C-alpha cells in the first residue's frame, strides 16, 4: 500500500513538473493543491477552536464543582462537548492527513533523482534530492547557502504559528507555548539538516500558507465563530448540578 502511494505521489509530481517545467516548483504547486483541499477542514477546526475558547469559563466551572467526583466531571464535560459539537481531535486531522505526504516525499525525492539527475528548483537549489548535510560535506558553502537558508525558514516557520496562537492565551499559557515553540524550532532545524530539499520546500510552502491563512482568513472565521458561540452560550447556559460526596466521619479508636 505504501509503495503504491509513493508511486502515485511520484506520478502526480511528475505530471505537475511536465506542466510547470521545474521539479521544485512542482513540489510547491502540489503543496498548494493539498492545502486548498484541506481548507474546509481547517475552517471547521478553526470554528471548533473558537467555540472551545468561548466555553472555557464553563468548562473550568464544571471542573471546579465536580473536583471531588471525576466520573461525574467527565460526564458533564462530554455533554458540553456534544452540545458544542466539539471534537478534541478535530484540530489534528489536517496535520494527520498531511503526514503521509510529508514522509512520502523522502522516497519520492529518491525516485525523482533516478528519473531526472538534474531535478532542481530553478538555479536556486541544484538538486531537490540533496540535503544541507550533503552540501556541507561537499565543502562548497556558497552552493550550500540556499539549502541552509531553506532549513532556517523550516525552523522559523515552525515557531511563527505558535507565536500567533499564543496571542489569544493568558500570560502563563503564552510562556509555555513560546517555550515549546522555541524547542520545536530547534528540533526542526536539527531534523531539517539531513532531509532532502524537496521535503523542506513542501513544509516551508505549507507553513507560509498556514501563516497567511491564519492572519487573513482564520481571523475572520474565528471572530464569527466566537460571536455565534457566545450567543448560543447566552441563550442556553450550561447547567451544572452540584452533587458532592458526603464526607464520612472518621471512627476514633477506643483506648
For residue 9, the enclosing domain spans: 2-130+196-235
pLDDT, tens digit, 9 for 90 and up, residues 158-213:
888 777 766 666 676 778 878 888 888 899 999 999 999 999 999 999 989 888 87
**3-class SS of residue 152:** helix
pTM of the model: 0.74
For residue 201 the three cell numbers come to 520546500
pLDDT score at 77: 81
Does any domain span residue 78?
yes
Residue 178 belongs to a domain: no
| Four-residue CA torsion sign, 72, 76, 82, 85 | negative
pLDDT for res 244: 45
Q: What is the pLDDT of residues 42-52, one digit of tens each?
A: 777 767 766 67
Phi, psi of 125 (to 5 degrees): -115, 110
pLDDT given for residue 59 in this prediction:
79
Rounded Cα gap, residues 218 and 228, in angstroms: 15
The rounded mean pLDDT for the chain is 79
pLDDT band at 15 (very low <50, low <70, confident <90, very high): very high
- The CA distance from 186 to 150, in Å, is 14
Return phi, psi of residue 86, to 5°: -105, 130
Q: Choose among 183, 123, 188, 178: nearest CA to 155.
A: 188
| 23 domain-assigned | yes
191 belongs to a structural domain? no
Residue 172 lies in a domain: no
Q: Is residue 217 part of a domain?
A: yes
Percent pLDDT > 90 in the chain is 27
With cut-offs at 50, 70 and 90, classify the pLDDT of residue 226: low
Position 92 in a domain: yes
Task: Indicate if the pLDDT at residue 28 is higher than 70.
Answer: yes
pLDDT digits (tens, 9 = 90+) for 50-91: 667 677 777 788 888 888 888 888 888 888 777 766 666 666
In this model, does residue 107 exceed pLDDT 50? yes
pLDDT at 102: 81
C-alpha cell at 194: 539531513
pLDDT surpasses 90 at 153: yes
Count the domains in the chain.
Answer: 1
The predicted model gives 144-159 an average pLDDT of 92
Residue 89's pLDDT is: 62
Residue 75, all three cell numbers: 460526564
94 within domain boundaries: yes
Amino acid at each position: 500500500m505504501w509503495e503504491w502511494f509513493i508511486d502515485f505521489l511520484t506520478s502526480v509530481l511528475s505530471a505537475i513538473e511536465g506542466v510547470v517545467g521545474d521539479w521544485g516548483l512542482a513540489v510547491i504547486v502540489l503543496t498548494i493543491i493539498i492545502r486548498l483541499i484541506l481548507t474546509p477542514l481547517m475552517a471547521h477546526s478553526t470554528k471548533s477552536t473558537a467555540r472551545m475558547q468561548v466555553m472555557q469559563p464553563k468548562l473550568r466551572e464544571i471542573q471546579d464543582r465536580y473536583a471531588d467526583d471525576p466520573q461525574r466531571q467527565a460526564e458533564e464535560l462530554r455533554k458540553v462537548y456534544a452540545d458544542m459539537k466539539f471534537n478534541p481531535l478535530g484540530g489534528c486531522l489536517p496535520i494527520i492527513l498531511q503526514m503521509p505526504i510529508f514522509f512520502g516525499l523522502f522516497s519520492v525525492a529518491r525516485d525523482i533523482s533516478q528519473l531526472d539527475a538534474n531535478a532542481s528548483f530553478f538555479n536556486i537549489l541544484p538538486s531537490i534530492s540533496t540535503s544541507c548535510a550533503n552540501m556541507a560535506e561537499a565543502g562548497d558553502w556558497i552552493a550550500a547557502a540556499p539549502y541552509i537558508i531553506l532549513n532556517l525558514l523550516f525552523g522559523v516557520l515552525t515557531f511563527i504559528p505558535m507565536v500567533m496562537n499564543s496571542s489569544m492565551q493568558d500570560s502563563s499559557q503564552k510562556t509555555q507555548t513560546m517555550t515549546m515553540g522555541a524547542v520545536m524550532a530547534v528540533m526542526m532545524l536539527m531534523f531539517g539538516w539531513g532531509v532532502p530539499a524537496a521535503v523542506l520546500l513542501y513544509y516551508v510552502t505549507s507553513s507560509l500558507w498556514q501563516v497567511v491563512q491564519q492572519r487573513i482568513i482564520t481571523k475572520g472565521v474565528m471572530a464569527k465563530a466566537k460571536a455565534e458561540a457566545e450567543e448560543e452560550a447566552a441563550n442556553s447556559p450550561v447547567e451544572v448540578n452540584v452533587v458532592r460526596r458526603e464526607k464520612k466521619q472518621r471512627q476514633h479508636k477506643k483506648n
